[in-house]
Structure formats: C-alpha cells, structure tokens
Amino acid sequence: MLLTLSDERSGTALLFNSYEFIFGFLPLTVIIFFGLVRFRLLKLATYWLTISSLIFYGYWNPAYVPLLITSIIGNFFFGSYLSTAKPGTRSSQVMLWLGITFNLAILGYYKYAGFLIDSFNHVFQTTFPIPEIILPLGISFYSFTQIAYLVDAYHSSSRNNYDLLTYTLFVVFFPQLIAGPILRHDELIPEFKKLKNFIFSNRNIAYGLTLFILGLAKKVLLADPLSPWVAEVFTHANEVTLVEAWFGAIAYTLQLYFDFSGYSDMAIGLGLIFNIHLPINFNSPYKATSIIDFWHRWHITLSNFLRDYLYIPLGGNRKGSLRRYLNLMITMLLGGLWHGAGWTYILWGSLHGCFLAINHGWRKLGCQMPNAIAWLMTFMAVVFSWVFFRSSNWVDAVAISKAMLGLSSITLPAGMKAIVPWLSQWRVEFAELSHLPSNYQQAFAQLAVLLGGVMVLPNTQQIMQRFQPSWQWAIALSSVTVLCLISLNRVSEFLYFQF
C-alpha cells in the first residue's frame, strides 16, 4: 500500500473559511497593522505582518515553522550572494545549483520520499520501510517561489539587496503562503516598500472585502456542496456506470474550479486589504477553445513559472518542432509531479503534455474549426484528464475512464426507460444507479446551471471592474456573507492545500 503522506494533523489549518480566521485572526492583524502605521511605526508594522503570517502558518503545526524559516534563511543567503556576484561566473553557477538543490532536497524529502521508496519496492520487489511524513502546508508553493527568486538573482534581474525582514515577508505573506498564487519577488517586494501602501485605504478595503466574500461564496456555497457527489463516484470507481462516471467527473471539474479560484480570489482580496496587489490566477479557464488557451487561463502563475523556469530553459520552441514537443512533455510531466507524489499526477501531466503537443501541431498545420466544436473538445479533454488528477490511484482512474468511454456497461437511470425504450436494442441497460444522488434529476440540473454560469457569466475580475461601493452592493454582499457564515458548519480544507 502506498503511504507517501500521513493524513494526521497536529491541528487544523487556519482556514480562510473559518470563524477563527474571519472573526479572530484577520481583524486583529489588520487593526494592529494599521494601528502601528497610524503612529508611523512602519518598521514595527512590517514586523507585525511578518510575525502574524508565521503565526498563521504555525497554527496548523508549529513544528514546521522552523522548516519554513530554515528554507527562508537558506534562500536568503544564496540569493544575497547571487545578487552581488558577476552573472555567468563559475562560482555563481555553483551557488545557483546549490540553492536549487537546497530547495529540491527539502521538497523531495517531505513530498516524494515515500512515493520513491514505494515505487522502488514495487519495481525491485524490496521491502524498504516507507516513512510516514506529514506534508508541510504550502511547501510546493514557497519552494517554487524561492527557486524563481534564485534564478532571477543569478540572471541579474534582481540587483536589489533585500533585507532579511522584507525577504521573509515576501515568502510568508499569509494571503498567498499556503496555496499561492506563485509570486515573483519583483512583483511583490517593491509593493512592500511603497510608503503609500502603508496608508489605510477605504477603497482597497472595500474592494478587498468584496473579493474575499465572492471567493468565500465560491468555496462554501458552490464547491463544498459538490464534494459528497464527487466522493461517492471516486470511492466506487470499479462500480460506476457511464452516466455516474460523467456525473462525478463534471462535478469534480466544477468543484476544483470553484474551490481553487475561490481561494485565489480570497487571497487577492486579503492582499488588497493591506494595499498589496497579488497577481490574477484564473481567467475563465473553462471558456478556453484550446488546451493552449486553457493553460493561459488556469492557474496562471504556475503556468508562467513552468514556462519561464522550465520550458524556456529546456529550449522552448527554439530547437525545432520535435524538441518543442519533447520540452512540452517534460514540462507538463514535472508540472503534474509538482502537484502530488503519485502516478496519477504524472499521468495527468503527461496527458496535458500530449494535448499541448497536438494543439501546437494542429496550429502549425494552419487548421481551424468552429469555436463551439473547439470549446467542446477542449472541455472534454480537461474533464477527462481531471479524472486522473482526482483518483486515489491509477487503477481507479482507468476504471472511471473506461466507464466514461462506454467500455464498461452502459446503464441509464431506470426512469429513462419510458422515454427512450428503443435504446435497449443497443445493449443499453436501465437500472437504479446507486452512486447518483437520490434526486439525480435535480443534481444534473444543478451541474448544468453551474456549468452554464461558468461559461456565460462574467468572472470575478470582470465583476470587480463594475464594482462601485453602494447600498445595493452592500446589501447584496451582506446577504451572501450571511449565507456563507451559516454554511460554515464543518471544517473544509481547500483542495490545493494537499499540494
């Protein structure tokens, strides 16, 4: 049995969607920060924001705060050297690779040690013990953030001699610490140094709280109710039929979107409260009409990281078509592995590598198809690939995939026999589907409404372009907030916390 991570926790993370965060941590942090600013204690305010971010992280498991601090100090040392060294020298190259190795060693042990040992045991029939390792929250995000900083410092794009306090706040700033967005030092650190960003801004508070509420609504009112439906299908992978498999896959497609985009909206909103502008991470990805377009819209900061720090250094598209396709495969395979220590993530990344290679080849041929067909093919490819992303193991992923392709039995709900009885001639069976909700007609209608909303309605950024503080907005947002607070009746971690 593969045991790469322990599911045990020393405590519950201080979730954005928790009463402790909303009524305790956030108002206390904001009040003290701007209180110190009011008395022009800007340095002390920066210390407070840094310390509160570390408290936010340590609330889950204080034992991993020293690991985070060790990572920060180590990268600060490597970055300081690279920022002052002459680019391209042997000493700077050695320091860059030492810094990257330092990050990958930490990430590799905590995230991949169990997976590698289990895979080795399986291949070579050995019995090395598999360690139980609790995955530190946000380790993938803060590792990639700091690797990017080291590479930029080496290429001399970073000639700023950051002090340790500023650099630490760059890494641990609590809105983005756990699940991104993945930040660039030259995007965030300059904002920490702008004096105007220490001024209490009614406008930014209003915009920030609005974004936070919209993101909270996505998580609590839209993503979380889909979770039981998704779990029912994916925990019975070997039993589901074609209809159940597609129902579960589409439900997860929507759950993941509302969950992660909701977190990203909340992070951007929290940043704005402190006058910090975090980058947009989502731009209606399910409206994409190609896989290339999808990756320009989905988890944008990760896409940019993989492009700038992996795909382009590998050669990008500069060494011919064959090399481009190989680089795409390597990039997406490693992108899949970044998400999790398991073969399902590798298969998911490989699928997207293949999709991107096909997409680039299609573009090279100069072929076009109607937008509706292009969207449908793209969306179906994305839904199909999410099955591998969500499944506990590749056996379950294959089982659900087979059901989606109709390679298992094709069974429709019994109630449909009176509507389409002629399908029985095509070996279609009718029976009660135990892995659909009891009121499956209503459930399908809800999925259709949610999918239609994702496809037609404006996204959060577009909504915020129309936002103007008013009584109408205040009443609407207050109503949504009340609904969210009433719904906070159980701990529900964000899906990307596991990465």
Give phi and psi for 372, each to the nearest 5: -65, -45
Provide the CA 288 distance to its chain's centre, in angstroms: 18
CA distance 132 to 4: 7
Catalytic: 435? no
CA distance 443 to 448: 9
- Whether the CB-CB separation of 263 and 179 falls below 8 Å is answered with yes
Strands 411-413 and 429-431: parallel
Ranges of H-type helices in 9-41: 19-20, 26-38
Neighbours of 126 (CB within 10 A): 9
CA distance 270 to 273: 5
CA distance 417 to 470: 53
Provide the CA 69 distance to its chain's centre, in angstroms: 23
- Whether the CB-CB separation of 64 and 76 falls below 8 Å is answered with no
* Nearest residue to 252 (alpha-carbon basis) of 381, 382, 390: 390
Question: Out of 339, 352, 360, 435, which one is annotated catalytic?
Answer: 339
Neighbours of 319 (CB within 10 A): 12
Instruction: Tell me if the bond preceding 62 is cis, omega within 30° of 0.
Output: no
- Whether the CB-CB separation of 233 and 400 falls below 8 Å is answered with yes
CA distance 481 to 479: 5
CA distance 52 to 58: 10
CA distance 330 to 327: 5
* Residues labelled as active-site residues: 339
